[in-house]
Chain A
Amino acid sequence: MSELKSESKLEKLLAQGEFVVTGELGPPKSVDMSVLDDKIGALNGAVDAVNITDNQTAIVRISSIGTAFYIMARGLEPVVQMTCRDRNRLAIQADLLGAYLNGARNLLCLTGDHQSFGNHPQAKQVYDIDSMQLIYMVKQMRDEKIFQCGEEIRNGKKAEIHEPRFFIGAAANPFADPLEWRVSRLEKKAAAGVDFVQTQCVYDMDCFRHWMEEVVARDLHKRVKILAGITPIRSLGMLRYMKSSVAGISIPDSLIERFENTADVKEEGKAFALEQIDQFRRMEGVAGVHIMAIEAEKTVRGIVQDAGLLPRPEAA
């Protein structure tokens, strides 16, 4: 086992060769803690780490870092999501120091949804740096112990260096265009220093398999842990909406047909998720799954249970 880069439990489990399961938690839009507590209850013990989204789809919510502290206090390991939309390089680095200080160890570097999709479409976007540059910046902070500007991370010339050490994640989308460049984009992220990626939710297994084959052919799975994305299907409307209106998601017609011809869409959705987990476990290069049950965190435990992935392992 190679030397660990951080104190992250997620990193340890992956290093141990466990098939990891991560979940996702969208912070609420108010400081009503009961909602948050319900979600925490649903995910606690069902997954190894939980992504906390950062103003997802550009809608204002409790901050990712603030929520991360809250769930850590309740025994969950967070993956802090960090987008480039709302902060410049100063704010991002400052927030990372703060997050690390309070115990966050996993970071997911994202570009972030365009503000026009959210509830403040008039906002000025930042995009001072992009996700690739963010990955590289966090890696530099950890491995070269410097800020983006090149200064060392210490309080004074004679002070000791104390750098934040994050387990660096990113997103990967095998389904967006130009399709044939998507593996190269992952390669670029690997070169920038990413440790793990979570993919866009998979519905088109052929397309995903094709992407994975190319990933394996380039040995990228040895440099980057790949967690395949799953969003359980809860309704036909959701499936159709994603096909027609969400960019970068591929949904084959055969899947829509399958769900059109089923009596209980929710049950079928769970069955499909289980089939997928089964296929991912047998697929070379896939190190785990990332279950994005958006506003349906309750369903996660059942899926993980039925997939035979409970109880979750402990880090050695």
Chain B
Amino acid sequence: MSDSILIVHCAEGAKKALARMTEEGYKLPPRFKTFELPCTGSVNEVLLMENLSNGAKGVVVLGCRKENCKHLDGNLKAERKVARVKRLLSEAGAEGRFVEMVYAAPDEGKRLHETLLGFARAGEAEGKS
């Protein structure tokens, strides 16, 4: 297992939130990788599970703010997939891997940065213990 954290984000609000984050000067450690999809609604369990089983430490699904999905409720659909994968991981006892859903608006650079770093820190703490 590598320590990389994959951020799968949509091409709308979440993309803009990431851009805003970098514009504001908040930086991510290199273990974070980003990948763009048209909408987080196109994320499913296969995509999350295969990324994790292929070695990613964690996958963060980053979507638009809840009521703001361009495709109506793609982000909410993604949240349900993330919830199922969380359950699968815990049932399978797949320790040390995680999956999270994050909603971000394009004006939330700082908060997004804190949230993402939080996942990295939580992962590290787990690794040490």
Question: Do any beta carbons of A and B sit within 8 angstroms of each other in the complex?
Answer: no
Name B residues whose Cβ lies closer than 8 Å to a Cβ of A: none
